[in-house]
Structure 1
Amino acid sequence: MDDGTRGGCTGVSAEDLVTRDRSSYDASDVVEELWTCLALPSEALSRVQLDADNAPALPSSFKIGVLAQSSIALAALAAAQLHALRNGGEVPRVGVPLQHAVIEFKSERFYTIDGESPSSPLNAIGGLHKTADGYIRVHDSFPNHVNGMLELMGLPKGSTREQLADKIAAWESIELENVSTVRGDLAAYALRSYDEWDALPQSTAVANIPILVQSISSNHHGIHRSKLPRSTNRCLEGIRVLEMSRVIAAPLCGKTLAAYGADMIWVTSPTLLDLPSIDRDFARGKRTVQLDIKDEVGKAKLLELVKDCDVFIQGYRPGSLANYELSSEDLVKINPDIIVANMSAFGPNGPWSGQRGFDSLVQTCSGMNVSEAQHADQGETARPLPCQALDHGSGYLLATGIMAALFRREFEGGAWQVDVSLAGTMKYLRSLGQYPGSSGFQCEDYKQQADIPPEYLEARATGFGHMMAVKHCAKIDGCEVGWRNMPKPLGSDSAEWL
């Protein structure tokens, strides 16, 4: 099915999912809807305890608090469901405090190491630029994107933002988007309104439910053995997860699975630059291995890990790993019981399905930034959300989809694929409605670690120094939740499972 209902929602039509009024939804309603769409046991829903509130939780017209609390609660409930499946008995009770959830949606901004806050991962040329007919947002977290945009504009490396702005001013925004991103290897998107986004074929190609779970290989031998032995008080203990990702959404997914006890190996490339300011937070719970998949030895080591893993998470541009024979079809040939989890910008369907993108860019091209500015009514052309809500929401939703696939695999066997996109999370967040006028901005924000209640922080020793950071907000009765492994220099661990 390509109507956005794939992987669940039995008895719910695609039209109903599109037209359903979610404006009164609180976090509990979201949990119930998405849990049902994943075809997970309905009786588990009574085990979630939320201080759900539809009031603004961060200064925004969008219902970020609802998304934060519900997406984290879904992941925690899925972990609790697996714990019950592995050990018998009732699903443990799950709790997710709203305030802690919205703070965790900004976790990468709040950690310190030896008292020092992270520096901004952005360079000096990015952000919104005026064009001949509108605006375009340039992404500049990676040097190749920075240098590529400067080269496209005929500028030398090291040019200033002002010099770039002068060049961009002569371009039409859609033309520059096409040249730089659609036909090129850069990351820049035109600023659009809702109407302009809705007129694009990609807007309707994005699924109506943000988690897609599907079986991609059945158990052809007719013999199915449980892949989930009994565990202790760690819900995902013994589950092996291999992660190849960058930036926020996919790394957050791995970090979430690690909080519930999964054995996480994060594979990075020695040929690609890391993002230390972001990586410190999202490396919590993971072991770190560096492998160059362009090298025969590195590729062989990766395939050995794939052979014995339960889950493979990838967050690179769709199709890029297929160039190295690491597509879903390739992975299933190596491991017929694997769960392949894909994080993308725009989802697996539609004309933009193969394009790269990041949270800020999806906000820009989808109309969110324009609508946010209109609600704030401060005379701004565009206004970004107060956190990377699409990244964080997508990360927790991908973790939820993975655990739903683990649950389904226990009964049906075979290999599974999970797809979550930033645009899908955007579409669902938008469907929750917006607070009227500027009312959503009449609440406090959290801007630095000093704003965080001390009970939401934890102090740990890392390979980089003394770390103070936001604890995971979910509680599961009788289970240990949190990270045992702490950040360390990339490549510090052996390429082998525990």
Structure 2
Amino acid sequence: MRLVGDERVVAGPYRVAHLAARCVGRVTTVAADLLRDRGTDPGEVSVDLRHAAESFRSERHLLVNGAPVGDLWAPLSGDYRAADGWLRLHCNYPHHEAAVRSVLGDDVAAAVARRPATEVVDAVLAAGGAAAALMSPAAWADHPQGRAVAAEPLVAVERIGDGPLRPLPPASRPLAGIRVLDLTHVIAGPVCGRTLAAHGASVLHVGAEHLPVMRPVWVDTSFGKRSTWLDLRDASQAEVLRSLWSDADVMIQSYRPDSLAARGFGPADAPEGTVLVSLSAYGHSGPWRGRRGFDSLLQLATGIAHRGDGAPVPLPAQALDHGTGWLAASGVMTALRRRAVEGGTWHVRVSLARTARLLDSLGWIDSVEDLSPVDGYCDEVDGPLGRVRYLRVPGGLPGAPPRWDWGPGVAGGDLAEW
């Protein structure tokens, strides 16, 4: 793999551009292997470091009819000083904001300031909200959850059942003919589905009309996908999903561990010969495996945002989300290659916490923000939403350059069928 450019293009100290290039390169390399397996010469794989880094904040470059889609953060989301440290509240969804207000009232900052950080976090989580206290890297490493995550692989690709060999026929794109069910939300899972679509997969995103969405993120991660709505509380609609799964190659899910399994859509229920992908926030083992989490919260909990006694310092991108999505896509491609020669049913597992450990292991670098235009990495497409400006897919694959065949459509606007 050939790297192009300098990684010092986003504000330091963490090596976010290097992480992005590593994740993009991992996917593009496996895509090249798949393409070669399918009889097409992939050419030399390359990664443009600036392009990869900007792809980790692709939502910032999105314009619809010349204007941003909306605010990424709700007014109440943010870092707060507690009586003994710092914490972050994630209130981008209405029910999470309601949980915070039920615990802290209307003057949230004042209420937080009177109480210990972990006490506030525990109360918010118990009320159904999302929060995390700032920890130092050393404290996280010594925490039971930090130790559990350290023992997990970066990308777990595990055979969980039998299944016939499914060799991939000749094709001009790595994932041509592969069907992917995308049951994900926020950033990491949708990025995985978007990445698979860029390499030729047929991706059907399944959401529910009653669930809230972060519109800027939804639009940004919907390229190359179709979108439908199914309410799994309705037995007949759950059966539709089960039928779709039986005809799919891959299903991606990013709900909290065991949530979908309780509805009959877990590893034990996977149709023979399919690949199931599970993305989680805090990892797949340990006492916090079921804890509600988002990228901005994980940055505090894992010590990434820790700078001594000062306020938390965020990364210049939602790098844990984006990185985890790309790593999940690499796991899918690896599982499909193995299925082609070994058969089997497969389970891919990744987590934001484990991606944070990878980023931390890369060390620090002195870097400043590259403020030059990104126009050379952008393109525009017309669609149901209007004229959409977007950042193209990173990763050089001359034999089958990654691309999205269409832009974002209307949420729930497609039929629940292949």
TM category (shorter chain) comes to over 0.9
Matches within 5 A, 1:137-216: 137-153=88-104, 155=105, 159=106, 163-181=107-125, 183-206=126-149, 207=151, 209-216=153-160
Deviation of the 1:51 alpha carbon: 2.4
Contact 1:244 1:315 in 2 (8 A): yes
> For the residues of structure 1 that align with 2:19 and 2:293, how far apart are their CA atoms?
21
CA offsets per residue over residues 46-82 of structure 1, 9 Å max, x none? Answer: xx222275x5331111111111111011111111111
Counterpart residue number, 1:106: 57
Out of 369, 384, 387, the residue aligned to residue 444 of structure 1 is: 369
Partner SS, residue 455 of structure 1: helix
Structure 1 stretches of 4+ moved >4 Å: none
One of 354, 363, 367 as aligned partner of 2:299: 363
1:342 & 1:360 partners in 2: Cα distance? 20
Alpha-carbon distance between aligned partners in 2 of 1:342 and 1:228, rounded to the nearest angstrom: 24
The whole-number CA distance in structure 2 between the counterparts of 1:475 and 1:200 is: 40
> Could you tell me the TM-score, scaled by structure 2's length?
0.96
What's the TM-score, normalizing by structure 1?
0.81
Distance across 2 between alignment mates of 1:198 and 1:225: 41
Which residue matches 1:302? Answer: 241
1:332-351 matches, within 5 Å, as 332=270, 335-351=271-287
Aligned to 2:288: 352
Counterpart in the other structure of 2:375: 454
Residue of structure 1 equivalent to 2:47: 96
3-state SS, counterpart of residue 120 of structure 1 = coil
Q: Is the 8 A contact 1:208 1:427 kept in 2?
A: no
In 2: Cα distance, 1:243 partner to 1:80 partner: 23
Where 1:420 maps in the other structure, the secondary structure is: strand
- Percent sequence identity is 35
Give yes or no for the alignment of 1:418 onto 2:343. no
Name which structure has the greater RCO, CA cutoff 8 Å, separation 6+: 2
Q: Which has the larger Rg? A: 1
Please say if residues 84 and 92 of structure 1, whose CA atoms lie closer than 8 Å, have aligned partners that are also in contact.
no
In 1, Cα distance between the equivalents of 2:145 and 2:280?
14
Deviation at 1:86, TM superposition (A): 1.9
Does 2:327 align with 1:400?
A: no
Distance in 1 (alpha carbons) for counterparts of 2:370 and 2:190: 25
Relative to structure 1, is the Cα distance of residues 120 and 188 closer, same or farther in structure 2, using a 3 angstrom cutoff?
same
Task: Judge conservation of contact 2:187–2:322 (CA < 8 Å) in 1.
Answer: yes
Matches within 5 A, 1:233-382: 233-330=172-269, 332=270, 335-371=271-307, 380-382=310-312
CA-to-partner distance for each residue in 1:101-137, whole Å, 9 max, x for gaps? 1111111111111100132132111211111211110
CA shift for structure 1 position 251: 0.3
> How far apart are the structure 2 equivalents of 1:301 and 1:452?
46
The change in CA–CA distance for 1:303 and 1:208 in structure 2 (over 3 A counts) is closer
Is 2:408 aligned against 1:487? yes
Alpha-carbon deviation of 1:380?
4.2
Secondary structure class of the residue paired with 2:21: helix
- With over 3 angstroms needed to count, the CA separation of the structure-2 counterparts of 1:355 and 1:295, relative to structure 1, is same
Matched AA of 1:62: Y
- Structure 1 gaps of 5+ residues are 1-47
Preserved CA contact (<8 Å) 1:209 1:428: no
Separation (CA, whole Å) in 1 of partners of 2:68 and 2:392: 16
Corresponding letter in the other structure for 2:358: Y
Quote the offset at 1:289 in angstroms. 0.6
Match of 2:13 in 1: 61
Q: Contact 2:165/2:341 (CA < 8 Å) preserved in 1?
A: no
Secondary structure, counterpart of 1:216 in structure 2: strand
Give 2:24's aligned residue: 72
Structure 1 distance, partners of 2:400, 2:90, is: 40
Q: CA deviation at 1:227?
A: 4.5
Spell out, residue by residue over 1:141-169, the C-alpha distance to the aligned partner (whole angstroms, 9 max, x if none).
Answer: 1110001110122x3xxx4xxx1111122
Matched, 1:391 2:321: yes
Instruction: Provide the rounded CA distance (Å) in 1 between the counterparts of 2:79 and 2:342.
Output: 48
For 1:385, give the aligned amino acid: L
Among candidates 210, 228, 250, match of residue 168 of structure 2: 228
Partner residue in 2 for 1:39: none
Q: Deviations over 1:242-277 (max 9, x none)?
A: 011111011000000000010000000011012211
Tell me the C-alpha RMSD between the 2 structures.
1.6
After superposition, what is the alpha-carbon deviation per residue over 1:331-370, rounded to whole angstroms, capped at 9, x for unaligned?
Answer: x2xx101101011011111111111101000001111111
Distance in 1, matches of 2:292 and 2:85, equals 22
Partner of 1:121: 72
Task: For residue 225 of structure 1, report the CA deviation from its aligned partner.
Answer: 3.6
Q: Deviations over 1:172-230 (max 9, x none)?
A: 1112222222x4421101111112212211111114541111111134xxxx3424222
